[in-house]
Amino acid sequence: MSGTRDILDTILARKREEIADLRKITTLEKLEALALEQDPPRGFAAALRRAAIAGPAVIAEIKRASPSKGLIRADFDASWLALEYEHGGAACLSVLTDRDFFQGGDEYLIAARRACSLPVIRKDFLIDEIQIVQARTIGADCVLLIAAALSPQRLHDLHKVSRALGLDVLVEIHNGAELQQVLDAQIGDDYLLGINNRSLRTFETRLETTLELLDRVPASAEVVTESGIGTAADVQRILAAGVRRFLVGESLMRQPSPAAALRKLIAS
């Protein structure tokens, strides 16, 4: 699909506008003070680690829409979805906060986290430290850093800011070149490595993306496979390759009962 890279560029251009707007109404220092007032992070990576001992550890995603699929769920209630996912056996939550392209919002993360006891990742396009600090002010326990949107140095710097705030970090890649970028960023092994099976350029989804990259991933990496997990067979296929952490969104969001769908997905 031609021009799909332009979608990322368009999103990032909008993020730069949002960052400029945010800096007009507040300062990094004020947000840092507000971040310190929040409840301590719930331990996103630790929750996944505990869940992975017993079976598939699922990050269940609250996502109303996407640029490629449009509206995913019309009857959207972040609090209800959070409870459904918790009752269905999710280890953690992912909440989209991008408004313009995913119809998300900070208020959905706040509502979801208040409704349950699960740790929550802020799923957005984070390219500036003020966004990282803001994520902590709305209660995020983890942040997403997308390798395709960041230089190795920028990834290093934002990872450092995140960890200083007690936030866990999920670094997302789509291919081998981006994996090398992450390794070049020299952030050690203090992060979760998300392998997104959906191509950033074509939006084609292949579970083979995770499977083909595993041999190149450091042995110490805590891998999360993302996108394209729709059936229990998909889960079993990935488990057989040694990956025990899954981010699942669209296939659950479309179900009348996400809790029942999640239980069926991870049943052995």
Residues serving a catalytic function are 61, 63, 123, 172, 196, 226-227
Amino acid in position 103: Q
Residues with Cβ < 8 Å from 140, sequence gap 6 or more?
41, 109, 120, 121, 122, 167
Answer whether 85's CB lies under 8 Å from 252's CB.
Answer: yes
Phi and psi dihedrals of 146, rounded to 5? -95, 115
Residues with Cβ < 8 Å from 6, sequence gap 6 or more?
none
